[in-house]
Amino acid sequence: METPAILVEDVGMMFRLSNEKVDNLKEYMIRILKRKMQFTEFWALRDVSFTVEKGERLGVLGFNGAGKSTLLKVIAGVMRPTVGRVEIQGVIAPLLELGAGFDMNYSGRENIFLYGATMGYSRKYIQERYDEILEFSELKDFVDQQVKNYSSGMRARLGFSIATAVDPEVLIVDEVLSVGDAKFRQKSEKKIQSMFDRGVTVLFVSHNTAQVRTLCNKAILLDKGRMIAQGGAEEVCAIYDAMTKK
C-alpha cells in the first residue's frame, strides 16, 4: 500500500495562557522563578487524525478559532505538536502568513535569502532561483530598499514569490489566493493552478465552500479544535453550510 502524502495521527496542540497581565520581561521572569505565574491550558487542537493520499486535494473548513491555521502550521513544521505525529512525503510549499518571517530592517534582497532559509531552501537553491523570484514579484526597483518601507501588499508579493519558487509535492494554502493588486492576483492564481494541474497534493483552508467544492475532492471540518466531520468535499461543505445558517 502506497504511503500517504500527509499523515496526521492523534495530533493535539496546547498553549499555556497567562492568567495575569505582566508589563515587562523582568517582572515575567521574576514571577516564573518564584513560581507565582498562573497559567491556563488551552488546547487549540485535540485528537485530530486523517490522511491525504498523493494527488488528493483536502479542504479544511471551520469557523474562526476552530484551529485551522494552527493545524496547517503543525503540518508545515512551523510548530511542533504537543502530542501526536505528522509525516509528510516530499517537498512542501507552505503559503502561510506570507512575509511574516521578514526582518523589516533588511532589504528585499537580503530577505529573499533569509525567508528562503526559514522555508528550508539552501542558499545555492535561492541563488539559482533569485532572478525568477524577483521577476515574478515585480519588485526589481525596490529590492535594495528596507522591507519596513514596503506596503503589506509588496511584502505579500515577495513572500508568495519566494514560497512558490519550488516544485512541491505538497502545497499548503491558507486563504492567500488573493495577493496584491488585481493584475498580480490573477498571476498568483494562475501559478497555483499550474501546481494543481501537475497533480500536487493540496491542503486548502477557506471559508468559501464554493472554492472548496471546486478545488478539493475531500474535506474535513474543525470545531473548537476537534475534527467533527470528514469525507467528500460536497458532503462536508453541506454540513458547514448548514452550521453557518444556524
Confidence of residue 43 (pLDDT cuts 50, 70, 90): very high
Give backbone dihedrals phi and psi of 58, rounded to 5 degrees, phi first.
Answer: -105, 125
CB 80 within 8 A of CB 122: no
Nearest-CA neighbor of 160 among 120, 125, 189? 189
- Rg over alpha carbons for the chain, rounded to the nearest Å, is 20
pTM: 0.77
- pLDDT, tens digit (0-9, with 9 covering 90-100), for 182-225: 778 788 878 888 888 888 999 998 888 988 998 899 999 999 99
128-162 in b/e burial notation, b at 16+ Cβ within 10 A?
ebbeebbebbbbeebbeeebeebeeebbbbbbbbb
pLDDT tens-digit readout, 144-167: 999 999 988 888 889 889 888 877
In CATH, the number for domain 6-91+167-245 is 3.40.50.300
The β-bridge relationship of strands 92-95 and 170-174 is parallel
Map out the domains of the chain as residue ranges.
Answer: 6-91+167-245, 104-165
